[in-house]
Chain A
Amino acid sequence: MDAIEHPPIFRLPGIPDHVTYTWLVMVILAAVAFVASRNVQLVPRGLQNFLEVVLEQFQQMIDDVMGVAGRRFLPLLATLGLFILTGNLMSLVPGLAGPTGNLNTTGACALVVFLAYHWIGVRKQGLLPYLKHFAGPVPLALKPLMFVIEIISHLARPLSLTLRLFGNMVGGHILLAVIFLLMGLDGLIGWALSGSVVGAVVGGIGGVVTIAFTVGFLYPLKILVAFLQAFIFVMLTMLYISVAIEDSEHHSEQHH
């Protein structure tokens, strides 16, 4: 992918780009949180007010999906959501690289989710009841088969979380890179500036249309996808946690 995507402007020597920009996301989030909570007031104003609104959105989502009992997982879920959202939006800024456009970053997030929901389930139910709930409500002879199938489906969860976020981000990046390649000095705009009359007409009109298409359609779409993927990552994490802490009596058909 290095062939068509331009490398980011700011690079630390010897350190991969996604690590550099993960640090940048961490610095941004920590700085915003520090500035907002430096002088906490009962009636919030400005940045504190904004962050409270954001966190109340997360809390509302948790209440809807997991019930009030799920509020203790707000730090995990909101951190994941804000990190992924900031990373997704950062990859849209020209000259910066998005940390979520790399398989390692998304894999790390999914691994955190995988370990966290198993840990939460084992803490809530104890190790043996938690493992028993893998076997499901089937006759005894089928339990080993169900157990193996459940293990495979649990292993598929972090894989699908990883690949969904990575694929959406990288697909969008490649789309934008190809459009920019067609639009730029090697493509339509270069043709328009080349001096020939046909080139000036066709390349000029095509360049304007392509710029309008990019600014008017592709960028809003990418921003929507950035929010949507962060939302879906958090939502699936919530579902996994709420299935893991569910009592083993009434979970007969909703554990996917």
Chain B
Amino acid sequence: MRRSLILGGLSVFWLPGLAIAAEGAPATGGWIAPFAVIAAGIGMAIAAGLCGLGQGRAVASAVDAMARQPGAAARIQTAMIIGLALIESLAIYTLVIALILLFVKGIQFS
């Protein structure tokens, strides 16, 4: 079971390279480009999922605090939004890396 999973996972990474190798070097991209696309997709998926977990915890605590102390809701909301921005910026870093992998010509054409 585990071996087949590993083999399947590895083949995901091998196949684009094999396909490129079978076609010969195409004019529009080298052998790094398909790996860059896979890395961008997987990386963005992991970053989005974990960012969702983190923001969910932050919002849950903030809503809890607002329900306990409605008088302090405005200040809690401000702190929550700043915290959410700081958490979200980590996922945004991954987005920028993904955009670099997808659109920078040095990666796509090497």
A-side interface residues toward B, CB under 8 Å?
Answer: 1, 3, 64-65, 160, 163-164, 166-168, 170-171, 228, 231-232, 235-236, 239
Contact = CB atoms under 8 A, between A and B. Distances in A.
A64 B96 contact: no
Given A170-B99, A236-B85, A239-B82, 6 more contacts: A65-B78, A163-B92, A164-B89, A170-B95, A171-B95, A228-B81
A78 to B, nearest CB: 18
20 contacts: A1-B99, A1-B103, A3-B103, A64-B75, A64-B78, A160-B89, A163-B89, A163-B93, A164-B88, A164-B89, A166-B96, A167-B92, A167-B95, A167-B96, A168-B88, A171-B92, A232-B85, A235-B78, A235-B82, A236-B85
B19 to A, nearest CB: 22
Most chain A beta-carbon neighbours within 10 Å: one of B75, B82, B89, B93: B89
A9 B95 CA distance: 27
Contacts of A1: 99, 103
Interface in B51-110: 75, 78, 81-82, 85, 88-89, 92-93, 95-96, 99, 103
**Interface residue SS majority, chain A:** helix
Contacts of B92: 163-164, 167-168, 171
Contacts of B85: 164, 228, 232, 236
Nearest to B103: A1
A236 B75 CA distance: 15
A3 B92 CA distance: 21
Query: Which one of B78, B85, B88, B93 has the highest number of Cβ atoms from chain A below 10 Å of its Cβ?
Result: B85
Interface residues of B, number: 13
Contacts of A232: 81-82, 85
A65 B95 CA distance: 30
B44 to A, nearest CB: 10
B92 to A, nearest CB: 3
Contacts of B95: 167, 170-171
Contacts of B96: 163, 166-167
Nearest to B99: A170
Contacts of B99: 1, 170
Contacts of A228: 81, 85
A52 to B, nearest CB: 22
Nearest to A160: B89
